[in-house]
């Protein structure tokens, strides 16, 4: 879907200057006719919450939203694509900083594939380390749980005792 045309005054066609992205004299109804989406619609299209959209704007993963004359945020298809990208990167466990770097690579049409591959391999290594840490924790917890004396009504339990000692 092509990027909807932006306007600084209702009825005026043309691309919005990125420097004026947050300024708009467009009414919400005009914005909708032009293909822009409200925050709720963008959230539904990208399968994220409106709260996350505002958060991603705040941390710089998504540019500041255009606003209608009444101050409502409006988004276009490019914004929705960016939100989908960010959501999938979060699903894969990338941090905000890593997603920022991935976004820069995604938006750089002259990027080098080895740069992306290097980032992916670094993330895989981090995941492997975390998996190993979780497996150690699981084994410890399983050992403590196995030490419990069945359906004993006593308040003592090896897990509670271990946590108390470690505190």
Rg (CA), the chain: 24
**Contact (Cβ atoms closer than 8 angstroms) between residue 158 and residue 145:** yes
Q: Give tens-digit pLDDT for 58-78.
A: 999 999 999 988 888 999 999
Per-residue pLDDT tens digits for 98-146? 999 999 999 988 888 888 899 999 999 999 999 999 999 999 888 888 8
Rounded to an integer, what distance in angstroms lies between the CA atom of residue 15 and that of residue 78? 13
Higher per-residue pLDDT: 17 or 160? 160
Q: Which ranges of the chain does DSSP label H, i.e. alpha helix? A: 28-33, 39-46, 50-59, 77-91, 96-107, 113-146, 158-166
Query: C-alpha distances in angstroms, 77 versus 3, 36, 46, 133?
Result: 6, 8, 10, 40
Q: Quote the Cα angle for 57-62-64, to 5°.
A: 60
Alpha carbons 149 and 93: distance in angstroms, whole number: 38
Distance CA 71, CA 150 (A): 61
Structure tokens given for 67:
């606003």
Give the strand order in the sheet containing 37-38. 37-38, 73-75, 66-67
> Does the predicted model carry a pTM greater than 0.75?
no
pLDDT > 90: percent of the chain: 51
């Amino acid at each position: 879907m092509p990027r909807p045309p932006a306007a600084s005054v209702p009825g005026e066609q043309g691309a919005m200057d990125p420097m004026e992205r947050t300024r708009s004299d467009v009414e919400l109804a005009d914005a909708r006719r032009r293909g822009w989406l409200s925050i709720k619609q963008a959230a539904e299209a990208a399968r994220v919450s409106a709260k996350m959209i505002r958060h991603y704007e705040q941390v710089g993963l998504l540019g500041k939203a255009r606003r209608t004359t009444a101050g409502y945020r409006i988004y276009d298809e490019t914004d929705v694509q960016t939100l989908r990208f960010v959501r999938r990167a979060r699903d894969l466990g990338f941090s905000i900083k890593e997603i920022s770097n991935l976004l820069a690579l995604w938006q750089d049409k002259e990027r080098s594939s080895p740069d992306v591959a290097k980032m992916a391999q670094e993330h895989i290594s981090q995941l492997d380390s975390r998996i190993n840490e979780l497996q150690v924790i699981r084994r410890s917890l399983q050992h403590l749980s196995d030490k419990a004396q069945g359906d004993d009504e006593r308040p003592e339990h090896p897990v509670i005792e271990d946590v108390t000692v470690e505190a």
